[in-house]
């Protein structure tokens, strides 16, 4: 793709920072370097993910048998709410864009940094302030919130727990998201290396671009909605609360106008990562480059028009239900375009099944199950039966955890050598993926069956007939815990003790593989000039001469 970009011995970004001192905690906390900010996000997000995962395991433990086992009902309500709030607002929405978007977007387009490095640092700190507010809401008198992560009216107006503070935290976190989106859109428009036209951008950049637009346009809606709920709680304004003449369904509309596009904030960057990993390990250019790039934009656009499929049983008008059901089916098309193009890319490729590729394979299986069961829920008649059952829980865990979560690990395992200049233990990594896949299905597939049989979601107790499925699912949660310890432990160990590796261990050809590992402060010795298509593997020979 580019010539003369490898620098033999430039100082890495770990050795040279943007602050006066290159070492110590402040050189990280005040750094405007996109790579350091990305790593700080990674650290914070890893902590929140671990906490929320442990809450999930505790929930499963409570559900191992009918009746009370390890906690009271009110504690259970708070724990499932926190599991959702932390996973969604602190892990999966910022996850891929904030960590890998920050670190790799400038590298992939051949830029020295994002367009607004200080704004980037500000979004990180806004994120941290939001997270702290969530934590404070847990310990203040009143107790942790118990509404579920959707904060539905009228309960969220009437519950005595610390709702106002917790949702204000979500409001603050929204600003972090908007600023990151703004930064990325500007970066992609203004900072591409010479020769990198729109259709020479790597597909992760396309996906991040589409995501950034959703972050900018959709997030303000949740911001306003949250402020209205706080007003309602404090002054009893009567916008949503039916007792005061408000309309509770209006809240659901406003909430999902943001939160459904937010689903695409979560999944689109993941799809971008998949489009990076498959060509690298199939040694073959991506099939249908333009189709994949455009389908990202199509998903981002159509994603705005389907929100009310979360509300089929809310008492919405029939006309709206039919229209939203139809629109929901349309969003399956661009998603299908992607899956077929990925599979076609592998056809007759020279596949090298390294851990990142294995993560992607498990993604394709899990995401397809999640996506197809989404159609079952998008159809009006079946949704009436399955709404608010474990079927929905299984569906979104397959899409979110099996989709975005899996790809978070794929991205980590793919870009790890570039980020840290070291390699993890491949054998342990392979075992990690395998165990994760088994554990995942053990944990979540029984939920499809339970949901179909009528087990409602969010319930603290259940009938005897569901107990064996709950038991299997709980055992799955233990295996999942072991898999996660293996997967994350391998990474943490290798950051410090991993073997040093070359700058391009996988044989990737996008721009980030044209610079040293870890990259220098300004990413490249000189700004590269792009001459090749993004996934043109004929340049691998040229790249050997670069180093």
Partner 1 sequence: MDNQEHKNEHEHHITPYSTYVYVWLGLIALTSITVTIAGISLGDYTLAVALLIAAVKSYLVINIFMHIKYEELIFKVFLILSGLTLLVIFALTFFDFTYR
Binding site for partner 1 (CB under 8 A): 189, 216-217, 249, 253, 257, 304-305, 308, 315-320, 323-324
Q: 208 or 504, CB closer to partner 1?
A: 208
Is the separation of the CB atoms in 101 and 184 below 8 Å? Answer: yes
Contact between 407 and 274 under an 8 Å Cβ cutoff? The reply is yes
For partner 1, give the closer residue by CB, 320 or 344.
Answer: 320
Q: What's the closest the beta carbon of residue 126 comes to partner 1, in angstroms?
A: 22
Q: Shortest distance, CB of residue 310 to partner 1, whole angstroms?
A: 13
- Measure the CA–CA gap between 496 and 477, rounded to whole angstroms: 29
Q: Which is nearer to partner 1, 140 or 384 (CB)?
A: 384
Q: Which is nearer to partner 1, 304 or 452 (CB)?
A: 304
* Min dist. Cβ of residue 328 to partner 1 (A): 12
For residue 255, give Cα distances in angstroms to 18, 393, 508.
Answer: 40, 19, 41
- Minimum gap (Å) between residue 249 Cβ and partner 1: 7
Dihedral sign, Cα of residue 417, residue 423, residue 424, residue 430:
positive
Please provide residue 119's backbone torsions phi and psi, each rounded to the nearest 5 degrees.
-60, -35
Report d(CA 58, CA 94) in Å as an integer. Answer: 24
Query: Considering beta carbons, is residue 2 or 254 the nearer one to partner 1?
Result: 254
Nearest approach, Cβ of residue 319 and partner 1 (Å): 4
Residue 420 near residue 477 (C-beta atoms within 8 A): no
Q: Is 389 helix (H, G, I), strand (E, B) or coil?
A: strand
Cβ-based nearer residue to partner 1, 196 or 218: 218
Distance CA 32, CA 280 (A): 30
Q: Residue 142: is it exposed, middle or buried by C-beta count within 10 angstroms (0-12/13-18/19+)?
A: middle
**Min CB(84)–partner 1 separation in Å:** 24
What is the DSSP-derived secondary structure letter of residue 310?
A: G
In whole angstroms, how close is the CB of 329 to partner 1 at the nearest point?
15
Q: Is 5 exposed, middle or buried (0-12, 13-18, 19+ CB in 10 A)?
A: buried
Question: At its nearest, how many Å lie between partner 1 and the CB of residue 295?
Answer: 18
Q: Which is nearer to partner 1, 216 or 344 (CB)?
A: 216
- Beta bridge mates, 208: none
Report the distance separating Cα 260 and Cα 544, nearest Å. 45
CB closer to partner 1, 326 vs 332: 326
């Amino acid at each position: 793709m580019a010539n003369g970009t490898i620098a033999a011995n430039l100082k890495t970004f770990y050795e040279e920072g943007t602050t006066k001192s290159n070492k110590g905690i402040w050189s990280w906390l005040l750094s405007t370097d996109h790579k350091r900010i990305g790593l700080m996000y990674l650290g914070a997000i890893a902590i929140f993910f671990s906490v929320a995962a442990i809450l999930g395991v505790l929930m499963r433990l409570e559900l191992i048998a009918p009746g009370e086992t390890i906690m009271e009902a009110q504690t259970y309500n708070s724990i499932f709410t926190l599991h959702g709030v932390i996973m969604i607002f602190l892990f999966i929405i910022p996850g891929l864009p904030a960590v890998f978007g920050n670190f790799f977007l400038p590298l992939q387009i051949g830029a020295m940094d994002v367009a607004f490095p200080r704004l980037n640092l500000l979004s990180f700190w806004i994120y941290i302030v939001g997270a702290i507010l969530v934590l404070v809401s847990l310990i203040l008198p009143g107790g942790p919130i118990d509404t579920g992560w959707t904060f539905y009216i009228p309960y969220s107006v009437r519950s005595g727990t610390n709702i106002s503070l917790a949702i204000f935290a979500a409001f603050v976190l929204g600003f972090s998201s908007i600023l990151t989106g703004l930064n990325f859109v500007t970066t992609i428009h203004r900072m591409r290396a010479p020769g990198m036209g729109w259709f020479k951008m790597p597909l992760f950049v396309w996906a991040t671009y589409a995501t950034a637009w959703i972050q900018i346009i959709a997030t303000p809606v949740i911001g306003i909605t949250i402020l209205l709920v706080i007003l309602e709680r404090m002054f009893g304004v009567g916008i949503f609360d039916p007792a005061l003449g408000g309309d509770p369904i209006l809240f659901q509309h406003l909430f999902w106008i943001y939160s459904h596009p937010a689903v695409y904030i979560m999944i689109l960057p993941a799809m971008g990562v998949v489009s990076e990993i498959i060509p690298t390990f199939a040694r073959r250019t991506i099939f249908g480059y333009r189709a994949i790039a455009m389908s990202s934009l199509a998903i981002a656009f159509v994603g705005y028009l389907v929100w009310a499929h979360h509300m089929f049983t809310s008492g919405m008008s029939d006309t709206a239900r039919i229209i939203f059901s139809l629109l929901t089916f349309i969003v399956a098309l661009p998603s299908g375009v992607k899956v077929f193009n990925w599979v076609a890319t592998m056809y007759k490729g020279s596949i090298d099944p390294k851990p990142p590729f294995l993560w992607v394979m498990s993604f394709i299986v899990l995401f397809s199950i999640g996506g197809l069961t989404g159609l079952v829920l998008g159809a009006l008649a079946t949704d009436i039966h399955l709404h608010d059952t474990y079927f929905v829980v299984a569906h979104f865990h397959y899409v979110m955890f099996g989709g975005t979560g899996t790809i978070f690990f794929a991205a980590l395992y793919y870009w790890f050598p570039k980020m840290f200049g070291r390699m993890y233990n491949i054998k342990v990594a392979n075992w990690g993926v395998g165990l994760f896949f088994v554990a995942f299905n053990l944990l979540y597939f029984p939920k499809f069956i339970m949901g179909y049989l009528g087990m409602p979601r969010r319930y603290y107790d259940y009938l005897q007939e569901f107990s064996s499925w709950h038991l299997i699912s709980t055992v799955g949660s233990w295996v999942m815990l072991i898999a996660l310890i293996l997967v994350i432990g391998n990474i943490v160990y290798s950051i410090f003790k991993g073997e040093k590796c070359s700058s391009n261990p996988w044989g990737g050809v996008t721009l980030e593989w044209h610079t040293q590992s870890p990259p220098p402060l300004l990413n490249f010795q000189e700004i590269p000039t792009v001459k090749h298509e993004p996934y043109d593997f004929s340049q691998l020979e040229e790249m050997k001469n670069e180093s």
